[in-house]
Amino acid sequence: DGGITQSPKYLFRKEGQNVTLSCEQNLNHDAMYWYRQDPGQGLRLIYYSQIVNDFQKGDIAEGYSVSREKKESFPLTVTSAQKNPTAFYLCASSGRTGAYEQYFGPGTRLTVT
């Protein structure tokens, strides 16, 4: 089945540790995105990538890093520089032309203590 997978669903880390969230898609989409969602809030864009080996900062990129070495994969690293990393993280992908909708993964809920 085509879709986006994110793992793990729940992630717990100690403060000061870097953590990497995985995102894989088999939809053959060129564009991929990472969003952060805090409780009761909307989505805020962290990073996006339109093609392999290229990515751009979104609205809240500080304390995060990404890579796009393969079309199917867009991992997000939450670094120790992110001051408030506890949140729900959603990965999405979409086509690059037309008005294609974004397809979302199930999300990863990160808790840092």
Site residues (vs another protein, CB under 8 A): 33, 37, 41-43, 45, 48, 50, 56, 58, 88, 90, 92, 94, 99, 101-107, 109
In the bound state with another protein, the residue whose beta carbon lies nearer, of 19 and 36, is: 36
The token pair at 34 is: 């990472």
Nearest distance from C-beta of residue 80 to another protein, angstroms:
25
Q: 73: burial class by Cβ within 10 Å (0-12, 13-18, 19+)?
A: middle
In the complex, minimum distance from the CB of residue 99 to another protein, in angstroms, rounded to a whole number: 3
Minimum distance from CB of 108 to another protein (Å)?
A: 9
Task: Give the Cβ contact number of residue 61 at 10 Å.
Answer: 17
For residue 32, how many other CB atoms are within 10 A of its CB?
A: 29
Residue with Cβ nearer another protein (50 or 80): 50
Minimum CB separation of residue 84 from another protein in Å reads 19
Q: Is the CB of residue 94 less than 8 Å from the CB of residue 29?
A: yes
Q: Quick one: the chain helix, strand, coil %, rounded to 5?
A: 0, 50, 50
Nearer residue to another protein within complex by CB, 50 or 79: 50
Give the nearer residue to another protein in terms of CB position, either 16 or 99: 99
